[in-house]
């Protein structure tokens, strides 16, 4: 088991880090890109994991010179995702860490997902009531790579950023953790990078 003894709090990203939902989100983005005429690049879209959906639409508009209403794109993508027959599973390595450290450390989720989506997934896996803090795209002004998500999670746990470690699956999330003054460990394809 990874030794996290020097930290008082652990902050997990949700999609792709604690819950294996990135594949279905990428599939929903593929359909959304097709609908709105954005060229689809799977690796590029995965790299935007953790960025709130509306902000992702703004980035795509800018990248491809389009002007779709980001709120409309976000709603469409959410509806596509919700219509898919997919129940994400827990990622074993990070879930084992969650369970191992839950009795002795504070634990938060810092996610780019909207609050209703995050609460639904976390409740489905019986994790929602085990959290000391949940910070979603709904709760912040600036999504990742801005540090607000993680700084807010630390504040809600009553901790300093330096007392927390973050687990993330994207470079954007890694940047957000570093900007927040937190150590960060990447999770790649369900495996903790040591």
Look at residue 1 in the predicted model and tell me its pLDDT: 85
Instruction: Calculate the average pLDDT of the chain.
Output: 93
Q: What range does the domain containing 31 cover?
A: 22-83
Look at residue 117 in the predicted model and tell me its pLDDT: 85
Mean pLDDT of 163-167: 98
Of the pLDDT bands very low, low, confident and very high (cuts 50, 70, 90), residue 82 is confident
Residue 158 lies inside a defined structural domain of this protein: yes
Global pTM reads 0.81
158: domain CATH number is: 3.40.50.1000
- Residue from 170, 190, 138 nearest 50 by CA: 170
Mean pLDDT of 12-36: 91
- 101/74 same-domain check: no
- pLDDT of residue 86 exceeding 80, the answer is no
- 26/99 same-domain check: no
Residues known to be catalytic: 13
- 93/138 same-domain check: yes
- 55/119 same-domain check: no
């Amino acid at each position: 088991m990874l030794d996290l003894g020097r930290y008082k709090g652990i902050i997990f990203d949700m999609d792709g880090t604690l819950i294996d939902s990135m594949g279905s989100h990428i599939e929903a983005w593929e359909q959304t890109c097709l609908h709105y005429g954005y060229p689809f690049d799977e690796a590029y879209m995965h790299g935007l994991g953790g960025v709130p959906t509306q902000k992702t639409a703004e980035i795509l508009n800018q990248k491809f010179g389009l002007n779709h209403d980001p709120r409309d794109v976000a709603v469409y993508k959410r509806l596509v995702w919700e219509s898919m027959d997919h129940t994400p599973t827990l990622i074993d390595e990070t879930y084992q860490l969650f369970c191992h450290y839950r009795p002795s450390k504070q634990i938060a989720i810092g996610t780019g997902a909207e609050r209703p989506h995050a609460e639904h997934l976390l409740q489905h896996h019986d994790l929602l009531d085990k959290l000391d803090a949940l910070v979603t795209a709904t709760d912040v002004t600036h999504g990742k790579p801005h540090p607000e998500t993680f700084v807010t999670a630390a504040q809600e746990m009553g901790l300093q950023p330096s007392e927390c470690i973050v687990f993330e699956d994207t470079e954007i999330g890694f940047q957000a953790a570093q900007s927040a003054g937190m150590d960060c460990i990447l999770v790649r394809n369900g495996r903790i990078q040591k």
